[in-house]
Chains A and B, each alone.
Chain A
Amino acid sequence: MSEKVLMKGNEAIAEAAMRAGCKLFFGYPITPQTDLSEYLAKQMPKRGGLMLQAESEVAAINMVLGASAAGERVMTSSSSPGVSLKSEGISYIVGSDIPCVIVNVQRGGPGLGGIQPAQSDYFQATKALGHGDMHIIVLAPANIQEMALLTGEAFDLADIYRTPVMILADGALGQMMEPVDFGAKPVRELPAKDWACNGHGHKRLRNIVNSLYIQPEELERLNIERFERYKKIEENEVKYEEYLTEDAEITLVAYGITARIARTAVKLARAEGIKAGLFRPITLYPFPKKQLFELADKTNRFLSVEMSMGQMVDDVKLAVEFKKPVTHYGRTGGVIPSPEEILDEIRRLRREI
Chain B
Amino acid sequence: MSGFLFAGFGGQGILFSGKLLAKIGLAHGKQVSWLPSYGPEMRGGTANCSVIIDDEPIGSPLVTKPDVLVVLNLPSFEKFEKTVKKGGVLIVDSSLIDKKSERKDINSYYIPASMLASENGLEGLANVIIFGHMMKATGIFDYAAVEKVLVDSTPKSKPQLAELNAKALSLGYGWQE
Contacts and interface: CB of A to CB of B under 8 A. Distances in A.
Interface of A: 4, 6, 31-32, 115-116, 143, 171-172, 175-179, 257, 260-261, 263-265, 267, 336, 338-339
Contacts of B22: 6, 177
Given A6-B22, A115-B38, 19 more contacts: A32-B38, A32-B39, A116-B39, A175-B36, A175-B38, A177-B22, A177-B33, A178-B34, A179-B26, A179-B31, A257-B60, A257-B61, A260-B57, A260-B58, A261-B59, A263-B57, A267-B59, A338-B60, A338-B62
Size class of the contact patch on chain B: 10 to 19
A172 B26 contact: no
Contact of A6 (B23, B57, B58, B60): B23
Contacts, number: 63
Contacts of B57: 143, 260, 263
B83 to A, nearest CB: 12
Contacts of B58: 178, 260
B106 interface: no
Nearest to B34: A177
Interface string B100-119: 00000000000000000000
29 contacts: A6-B19, A6-B22, A6-B23, A6-B32, A6-B34, A31-B39, A32-B38, A32-B39, A172-B35, A172-B61, A172-B62, A175-B38, A176-B33, A176-B36, A176-B61, A177-B33, A178-B34, A178-B58, A179-B32, A260-B57, A260-B61, A261-B59, A263-B59, A264-B60, A265-B59, A267-B59, A336-B60, A336-B62, A338-B62
A175 to B, nearest CB: 5
Interface of B: 19, 22-23, 26, 31-36, 38-39, 57-62, 64
A178 B33 contact: yes
Given A6-B22, A177-B22, A179-B26, A31 B59 contact: no
Contacts of A257: 60-61
Give the residue among B19, B34, B36 with the most A Cβ atoms within 10 A.
Answer: B34
Contacts of B33: 176-178
Nearest to A334: B39
Nearest to A267: B59
A260 B59 contact: yes
Contacts of B26: 4, 6, 179
Contacts of B64: 338
B156 to A, nearest CB: 16
A257 B62 CA distance: 11
Nearest to A337: B60
B35 A176 contact: yes
Contacts of B61: 172, 176, 178, 257, 260
B70 to A, nearest CB: 18
A267 B38 CA distance: 29
Contacts of A115: 38-39
Nearest to A265: B59
Give the residue among B22, B58, B59 with the most A Cβ atoms within 10 A.
Answer: B59
B38 A171 contact: yes
Contacts of B36: 175-176
B34 A176 contact: yes
A74 B31 CA distance: 32
